[in-house]
Structure 1
């Protein structure tokens, strides 16, 4: 008896030591993840989608609740949660973006836990490191939108699904349903995660025989909260949508957009090298899993990426709807495949070299995201206006959205202001119907009684492709001051 106790002690101590080392490594990685994201919260000016999110969240309660049933409305649950966050923390850009940061940080240990169950601890750790340093995930962890919240929910749902398949307890099934339902009400295209979950269940390598009962009950429970959305989403899918504002892309172009983004982020420095290298490493990761008789895991990770991509491509045939951030919740599968690819490389130095190369590319793009502006610089434009604009100067906004942006960054009311006329109306033959004479009459009325006018110019082609407003000011006014920012410009005119 004594001999057995003595022989068991070293093995027990080793397991405890190994568990502690893994815990400390994961905690350290979570700390690095937090630091990498928090330094980016104020790096870029808010853009119009973010200010829209704030306005939607702080709208009257009747509107916030009504959005849950409003056809075409995207993300009503996210805006409801953001409303509570704003009440707790305030309306500063840092506070607003910190809400996204929280979910972006929590997604990393959750991805590690899911990867460890399907792969192994080392592979999951490499995947988590790549996700922690991902310029793409860091970018959207610093944006006031649902693009870090939805990936967290789907990771949570798939983790709960994995646990339910192995140990079919109702608590895990309930968590699966909750995660997917919350995701669907947080972004319209999170609906595509439901077939991913079904495929994950069917492909699960260790599925308990009784898991089918819970799975069918969960699918039925998942259908009920989705019915209010299905009432307007299904006709939208079948309808010809015409002009949607999204570019028409082939399946290959969509896949390439995701690959470049997930590999190199928004700046996409070294995008070709990063995307090709990551693609090869991901394919090698899938092959490694197949070689090790884990083809079900390889297929599940592939389904996580290509099932929603194929579905959104099919839906886009009736009118483009794709932009890469809509499928950000599939990015964890990409990093898990990269982790499997690293695990499949032979030789410690080869693996470490590949990992360092990927992190160096990520570091270069992170530096660009931190040091260079990529979003319209309304924060800087508002600061310039505060210094130079006189109280009686008229602000003329080329697009109404510009007023919303400046209003957020301005500590005092913007009055007096006016919206410039919309000049892009066309007839059936495509000819413009708004003449320069009509613009002249409208601008004379808008500027009457003002000696100085500030033109706030951004994305002007959406409102005035021929730049008739600017041409009128150039003819009838004297340019006193002009300043260019990224995607925003200010021009001060003196009128006779």
Structure 2
């Protein structure tokens, strides 16, 4: 009876497969659209807009000298905004398209990765979970590179799974070269491209090729040399694609090691990436880990080589980055591992689909996980962000002749300028210690070498502004990082009276008369 029920479900999935995919994409779009064109850009997105407005020459010659991220995303965003404009929607739509493409790719992965996922249901359920996943939704609404990076890594991982599956089935490479060549080429090309997008992509490449090497353990002895040669060739291709960027990578890495970065390693870092899968709570984390473990167990039984590859990709990059963070330089950020989410949700979907032979318990389990994920996504949508649009509008509504805006530190001008240039008669802006980027100053730097920390001498800039202007609007970014001694505010408060405060802990403005 159970087999007949499963056959009927498989037949329904086959018959309505593309309709289900379309429905999942509709749900994904519905979760990603709210606020996309109205929510204020936050400081990192404003950096994306600022960098993408630079010339191509400046982007590739000068920006890598002080910015820690590769310039390829800003270049693509520049080209994209030439077509769609640089409004909030225009800037974020590139990430939105990449996110929807990732959902689609996961939905059809059951058709592609035949050796690993039993049927198409796993891919469809994985896509449904991804459609309501808060981390993927968050990056889909961000003008940052992580959504594109997730798409590229998803393509690479699926290509690696297809490659391993075909090689494990003993394809004769001399007669059926297309069986391994296409996924091998896609793997090498896409991983090579990811290395241009983020400097920590090297750790993900390490995880992929470590997983490929581990598959040799369960490969028949007579096929190991052949498989090794194919994996090696794909790795060489990735390195060749990356090679033109290597000089910039070396330059950025050496510069970054001399930067007093703002991150601090925390115990939570050891598990926070796993909270991206279902939700940022202990019940969601435990539920996700249970189904992730069950999915890996099922994968070990049905496709051990694929299981080794998946486990290596989910574990090695994360804990390699954590090893560096705790021993050499703090580099771990939770958002760096959003790329793991599609793969992890596929494994979780496998765990749900194979948890029981009865259909109704599977459906209930799937709905519970989806409900948890969707609830977390709706909570995320209501969280406070940098409201630079509101701050600039507040200043513009209440500004008087003779007012001045003092923006500190250097990156404060980036936070204000995007919205200020859309406001008529906005007060003049004075940057402390100067407008971004302020490079090669004899002082410590915070998150990049364009925004130095403030020193006592910067108070002279404030004094000069006070002599020629009346009321002061003080706009500050990351006060605890750049101005922990409150140099700028103290100088203003000594000469003017505090009137009111607007904003939140992440983005704020104070008025002094």
Shared fold per TM-score greater than 0.5? yes
Shift of 1:141: 0.7
- 1:75/1:146 contact within 8 Å kept: no
Residue 366 of structure 1 aligns with which residue? 377
Distance 1:31 1:143, change over 3 A: same
For 1:399 and 1:365, locate their aligned partners in 2 and report how far apart those are by CA, in whole Å: 34
Cα RMSD over matched residues? 3.3
* Greater CA drift, 60-69 or 303-312: 60-69
The superposition leaves residues 357-395 of structure 1 with CA deviations (integer Å, 9 ceiling, x where unpaired) of: 22222222222222332x211111111111101243111
Q: Does 1:57 align with 2:45?
A: no
Q: 1:341 aligns with which of 327, 343, 351?
A: 351
Shift of 1:75: 2.8
The superposition leaves residues 133-158 of structure 1 with CA deviations (integer Å, 9 ceiling, x where unpaired) of: 10111001110111110111122123
> What secondary structure, in the 3-state scheme, does the structure 2 residue paired with 1:349 have?
helix
- Output the TM-score relative to the length of structure 2: 0.81
Distance 1:67 1:349, change over 3 A: farther
* Greater CA drift, 217-226 or 157-166: 157-166
The superposition leaves residues 217-257 of structure 1 with CA deviations (integer Å, 9 ceiling, x where unpaired) of: 3322222233344456579489966732222245xx43411
The superposition leaves residues 194-213 of structure 1 with CA deviations (integer Å, 9 ceiling, x where unpaired) of: 23332454438899966655
Residue 28 of structure 1 aligns with which residue? 23
> What secondary structure, in the 3-state scheme, does the structure 2 residue paired with 1:360 have?
helix
Residue 297 of structure 1 aligns with which residue? 306
Q: Does 1:66 align with 2:61?
A: yes
- 1:69/1:228 contact within 8 Å kept: no
Residue 9 of structure 1 aligns with which residue? none
1:413-428 matches, within 5 Å, as 414-420=426-432
For 1:367 and 1:433, locate their aligned partners in 2 and report how far apart those are by CA, in whole Å: 38
1:232-381 matches, within 5 Å, as 233=249, 236=253, 243-249=260-266, 253-264=268-279, 268=280, 271-290=281-300, 292-316=301-325, 317-346=327-356, 347-373=358-384, 375-381=385-391
Shift of 1:168: 3.9
For 2:295 and 2:182, locate their aligned partners in 1 and report how far apart those are by CA, in whole Å: 33
> What secondary structure, in the 3-state scheme, does the structure 2 residue paired with 1:395 have?
strand
Q: Does 1:193 align with 2:196?
A: no
Shift of 1:69: 7.4
Shift of 1:296: 2.5
- 1:407/1:414 contact within 8 Å kept: no
Residue 239 of structure 2 aligns with which residue? 223
- 1:240/1:319 contact within 8 Å kept: yes
Shift of 1:293: 3.5
Unaligned runs of 5+ in 1: 1-12, 427-431
For 2:285 and 2:66, locate their aligned partners in 1 and report how far apart those are by CA, in whole Å: 37
Residues matched between the structures, number: 465
Shift of 1:86: 0.6
> What secondary structure, in the 3-state scheme, does the structure 1 residue paired with 2:236 have?
helix
- Output the TM-score relative to the length of structure 1: 0.84
Residue 401 of structure 1 aligns with which residue? 411
